[in-house]
Amino acid sequence: MRFDVLTLFPEMFSGYKTQSILNKAIDRELVEVHVHNMRDWTTDRHHKMDDRPFGGGPGMILMVEPVVNCVRDVQAMSDRPGQVILTTPQGERLRQPLCEELASTHQRFIVLCGRYEGFDQRVIDILKPMEISIGDYVLNGGEVASMVLIDSLVRLVPGVLGDEQSSWDDSFSRGNRILEYPQYTRPRSFEGHDVPEILLSGDHGAIEAWRKNQSLERTKQRRSDLLE
């Protein structure tokens, strides 16, 4: 899976790319993440990316020309044009089923990170990106949202997680659209808090039943909407 991220703040991705699962996936050539500075596509002397909105109002708007030129040039860097995605609070809410659909239908994503008051509407009219929001809150820009998107998609690339660490059991996932059960490791007792006896019993059937029940109870208490 290949990601091309278009941003005005490429440095924000350098630490993220060294994060262990992603870093290993990149080393093993299962995933590529290329970060491009949209400012490199400006044509004026001052490398101007934004301007005041026509009609007045606060903030600055990202200009259509450098953004569209950047996307077109980046598209041409690989034989697959890729699905263009714009991270914006106005987009479709990112949920696990959408992640699964995207990961199973595309090999390449071009992710546009917004900033300031947003893009000139013609960026959207011309490029027709899929608009995705990571939740009902407003971030300072689309960079963090695109890291969230990339993180959720790379987990679904076959081979990125070891067999022992499959994404199948993740909360919200295909195998399991409810929350995960609680987990424990050593020590058996800490400050009077003991590991549930059943987990030490060696009775695998009983442990599985207990876990299933814990998952259901948690989901009922915290996210009953998932059970509807």
Distance in Å, CB of 49 to ligand ADE, minimum: 17
Q: Is 42 near ligand ADE (CB under 6 A)?
A: no
Q: Which of 4, 63, 142, 153 binds ligand ADE (CB under 6 A)?
A: 142
Q: Do 136 and 5 contact (CB within 8 A), yes or no?
A: no
Among 6, 103, 145, 178, binds ligand ADE (CB under 6 A): 145
Apex 93 CA angle, 84 and 65, nearest 5 = 30
Q: Which one of 42, 87, 173, 219 is in contact with ligand ADE (CB under 6 A)?
A: 87
Among 137, 148, 91, 142, smallest CA distance to 112 is for 142
Quick one: DSSP state of residue 107? Answer: S
Cβ proximity of 172 and 218 under 8 Å: no
Residue type at position 103: A
215 lines the binding site for ligand ADE (CB under 6 A): no
Nearest approach, Cβ of 151 to ligand ADE (angstroms)? 13
Q: Using the rule CB under 6 A, is 134 a contact of ligand ADE?
A: yes
Give the one residue of 114, 124, 150, 181 binding ligand ADE; rule: CB under 6 A.
114
Instruction: Name which position in 66, 82, 89, 129 contacts ligand ADE (CB under 6 A).
Output: 89
Q: How far is the CB of 205 from ligand ADE (least distance, A)?
A: 43
For residues 148 and 225, give the distance between their C-alpha atoms in angstroms, rounded to a whole number.
Answer: 23
User: Distance between CA atoms of 12 and 35, rounded to whole angstroms?
Assistant: 10
Contact 39, 49 (CB under 8 A): yes
Give the bridge partners for 83, in sequence order: 109
Contact stretch for ligand ADE (CB under 6 A) within 22-30, 62-70, 135-143, 163-171: 135-143
Question: Where does this chain bind ligand ADE (CB under 6 A)?
Answer: 87-89, 114, 133-135, 137-139, 142, 145
